[in-house]
A and B are shown apart, each in its own frame.
Chain A
Amino acid sequence: MMRFYTLTILLLLAMASCTQQEEVCLRSITNPCVVDFYTYLTDSTGTPKKTLVSLEAASLVVLVGESADTIMPWSTVSRMEIPLSPFRDSTVALLYLDSVAIPDSLTLYYTREEVFVDVACGMAQLYHLDSLRPSRFRVDSALIAEPRLQLNNSDVNVEIIL
């Protein structure tokens, strides 16, 4: 009886071990720079308070080489996700805010680190924001809130004050 069980288990496991592994990347390996927009509103006591704003008809353009690539138009938005170039140490984004025809530019400077994800997904880039340079058309100021951009980043990395 012991031999019967042994042979049965042996056969089942041998069949299971022959299954082919699928090499499909099932993970998202993007990590865009998350930007939130704020403005200062005075409360009833007259104290200025940082408040998240909703922008209408906003859109984002990033510069890819010498051409511009429109990423996405939004109807109402208080947050944008700027894809960083994995091949350069800086990315220039043009922010069209509140239907204004002249965009603000935001240049992000960062260092890159390649990391191995797995055999199916290959290598991905992690970023560390070093500095930024906004234009001052519609934008009042900008600061780095979280410099590290991990895989599947959802932290707010940059705060822009309008």
Chain B
Amino acid sequence: MWKLYFSLLFLLMGASLLAQDTDSSEVAEPAETKSGDSTAKAKKVYLYRIGYDVAKLVQLSNNSGLWQEVQLERINSKNGIMYLETGAGGGSVENEVLEYSTSGFFVRWGLAQNIVYRATMRDVETASIGFRYGGAWCRNSEVKYNIKDPIYGTESLTKPATNMYRHWIEVSMGMKFGLRPKWFLGWTLRGAYKLNSPETTDVSPVLIPGFGRGDRVSAVGFSIYFSYLL
């Protein structure tokens, strides 16, 4: 249960940070002017960008599972980027030993630093490195499985449907460049490590949305975001 609280804490922390910030392009406190100083402090501006991962459409040919995801980016004047990503999906497996499916949704939250020069505040072509924390709520359908033994034969058994929470951390890097004013295309490459202990008596999800294969401890993810600057 403590893992769930820990995970919710991370996710709520991201949401609260978003809530604290001013709206898109909103100016923070009025600049203070000192006596005799005509220059104002730099305005604190946040830019928001939403995106959709079109790489998941390309990966439709992979029948082991699929999820769809959208991304919200907040870019500040100091080249810091905060991400909030969410999506849903699932997968199924049907082979000679297992037959079941998984569905679920996920939320990822993370921070990154833009490492390329921006000529102006509205210039948001970025190359970034950062980290994310993700959590997914999954549901396994009833699991039909066979235990096969070369001497004793085969027996078919079932396990009831189960709900589960899986969470992970990941490091990421990516780039985005402008296609047209306000429209951007870019990629993100991420390496993720699952924080849950290895599956033992539970049947792992076929696919953890936002992470990858459920029976793996680590995963490499790749996204192509088609984004719009708000």
Residues of A at under 8 Å CB distance from B? Answer: 2-3, 6, 9-10, 13-14, 16-21, 23, 25, 62, 64, 69, 71, 83, 85-87, 113-116, 118-125
Contact = CB atoms under 8 A, between A and B. Distances in A.
28 contacts: A2-B175, A2-B177, A6-B175, A6-B186, A10-B187, A13-B187, A13-B189, A17-B58, A18-B61, A18-B62, A20-B62, A21-B62, A21-B64, A62-B151, A64-B151, A85-B149, A86-B149, A86-B155, A116-B199, A116-B203, A119-B204, A119-B206, A119-B214, A122-B95, A122-B147, A123-B145, A123-B157, A124-B147
B97 interface: yes
A122 B145 contact: yes
A25 to B, nearest CB: 7
A13 B187 CA distance: 9
B113 interface: no
Given A13-B187, A21-B62, 20 more contacts: A2-B175, A6-B186, A6-B187, A9-B187, A19-B62, A25-B97, A62-B151, A64-B153, A83-B152, A87-B153, A114-B201, A116-B199, A116-B201, A116-B204, A119-B206, A121-B97, A122-B95, A122-B97, A122-B98, A123-B98
Nearest to A117: B215
B200 A115 contact: yes
A19 B62 CA distance: 7
A148 to B, nearest CB: 14
A62 B98 CA distance: 28
Q: Summarize B's interface: helix, strand, loop or mixed.
A: mixed
A113 B201 contact: yes
A17 B59 contact: yes
Interface of B: 55, 58-59, 61-64, 93, 95, 97-98, 125, 145-147, 149, 151-153, 155, 157, 175, 177, 186-187, 189, 199-204, 206, 213-215, 222, 224
A82 to B, nearest CB: 10
Contact of B224 (A14, A62, A87): A14
Nearest to B56: A17
